[in-house]
Amino acid sequence: MVRLYDAEQERRPDVGIVACDATILGPEGPSARSYQTLHGFPDGASVTDLLRANSVFVCALCPRAVVEQIDGFSDECRGSEDHDLWLRIRESGRRIVATREVLAVYNNAGSGLSRDRDGACRCAASSMRSPRWPPPL
């Protein structure tokens, strides 16, 4: 992911997120479908795309300066802080680059915070109250 960041940043210095794919591990073991297979390939995703589906797996690389520029994680989005961060990074004009390489495991076996649908809805509603809403298509 660091090599991809360096190469893309050299090509065009506006990378905000570097994403990878993940194996999904459920109660019965690894799924045949990966995170990107289920949620889409995030390379070049727009804000609108990210509002439709969180295609950026949580195991992503973001430059510290970019995260600090947008004031880091939001306290209002418990359970979907990463999705909110991706939306705000993308809204700031930074782009998403991704590899299809599986570099992580998503443990989807039970009661994690990512199952908090109310938190995800609060995050989406918070994004829509942004002064930059609606996002550029």
pLDDT at 137: 45
- Partner residues linked to 98 by β-bridges: 19
pLDDT at 66: 96
pLDDT at 75: 84
Q: How far is the C-alpha of 51 from the C-alpha of 64, rounded, in Å?
A: 23
Q: Break the chain into its structural domains and give their ranges.
A: 2-128
Q: Decide if domain 2-128 falls under CATH 3.90.550.10.
A: yes
For residues 118, 39, 137, 63, the Cα torsion angle rounded to the nearest 10 degrees is 90
User: Does the CA dihedral 9-56-42-73 come out positive or negative?
Assistant: negative
pLDDT at 4: 97
Report whether 73 contacts 119 (CB < 8 A).
no
pLDDT at 136: 47
| Residue 88: Cβ-neighbour burial (10 angstroms; 0-12, 13-18, 19+) | buried
Report whether 34 contacts 113 (CB < 8 A).
no
Rounded mean pLDDT for each run of 10 residues along the chain, 137 residues in total: 97 96 93 94 95 95 96 87 95 96 89 54 55 48
